[in-house]
Every structure is written in C-alpha cells, then in structure tokens.
Structure 1
Amino acid sequence: MADAADYATDYQIRQLDQQLAAQRALSAVTAVTSPECEDCGLDIPRARRQAAPHVTTCIDCQSIREHKAKGVRR
C-alpha cells in the first residue's frame, strides 16, 4: 500500500517528466541550424529555415533523399 511519501515521489517524477518534455520541445523549436545544406553546401533559404528550424538540407537535396528512401531513381 502506498503512503504519502510514495505519492509525493510519484508527483515529483511526473512534474520532472513534464518539464523535461517541455524543454525538449522548446529545444527542438529553437534549435539553430546551419544556413548551409549538409549535402550540397548551398545556402538553405531563410524562409525554409524559419518554417522548419530543424532542417539540414535544401529543398532539392531533401527531395533527392525522399526519392532514394522510396527507391525511386532520379
């Protein structure tokens, strides 16, 4: 049977889990990426980096990656 200390510990664990999840979400949104595509080295347009801050490739290279992932030849 759980006592008050068990309930308090469970509450603290839930609170910490929520804070960590919020911090991870914030980090993902505010992450600064390189302005250059990691595949071709060309600049990633600012609008693309603002719309999707996590991107590491330009639109063309991302399209090529997606085609390769599907097994489509270019």
Structure 2
Amino acid sequence: MSKNFDRASEYEALMREHQINAVIKRPIGVSAFECDECGNPIPESRRIASPGCIRCIDCQTVYELKDKHYRSV
C-alpha cells in the first residue's frame, strides 16, 4: 500500500511541476485595451496586474468557469 502512495505522490509532484512550467514559460503579449468578448474597456489596473490579458474580469470569469466544466477529453 505504501508503494501506491509513493507513486501517487510522485505523480502529483510531476503534474504540479508540469503545470508550473506551463505558466512560467507561456508567452506574454501586450494586454488588450478592449475585451475580446464584450468589447468593453479593460481597466488599466487589470492590464498591469495580468499582462497579456484579452478579456475583462467578468468575461474571464465566465471563460474559466466554462473551461472548468466543459473541458474536452
């Protein structure tokens, strides 16, 4: 049983490292001034806090919820 926990722990550590590297190595572009979804202006504070953003906070929240629940396999 201990081997199963060791394997699960190793797998979790590997997946965490992979996810961290994906975020660290992603290309960061210039933030958009208008939301790609609704066309409303993106506040300067959001553009500074999240470099490369293309959606306003409301549209980004909806996007992440849809991505979480409707992820393709």
Amino acid across the alignment from 2:45: A
Stretches of structure 2 lacking an aligned partner (at least 5 in a row):
1-24
> In the aligned structure 1, how far is the partner of 2:61 from the partner of 2:32?
19
Quote the Cα distance in structure 2 between the aligned partners of 1:49 and 1:58. Answer: 9
Structure 1 regions of 5+ residues with no counterpart?
Answer: 1-24
CA RMSD of superposed structures (Å)? 2.1
Q: Which amino acid aligns with 1:47?
A: S
Matched residue pairs, number?
45
Aligned match for 2:51, one of 53, 59, 65: 53
Residue by residue over 1:15-51, the C-alpha shift from the partner in whole angstroms, topping out at 9 and shown as x without a partner, is: xxxxxxxxxx7x73xx422200000000111000011
Percent identical residues:
42
CA distance in 2, matches of 1:62, 1:49: 13
Residues of 2 paired with 1:49 and 1:42: CA distance? 13
TM-score in terms of structure 1 length: 0.52
Q: Please list, as runs of the form range in 1=range in 2, the aligned pairs for 1:1-74 lying within 5 A after superposition.
A: 28=28, 31-71=29-69
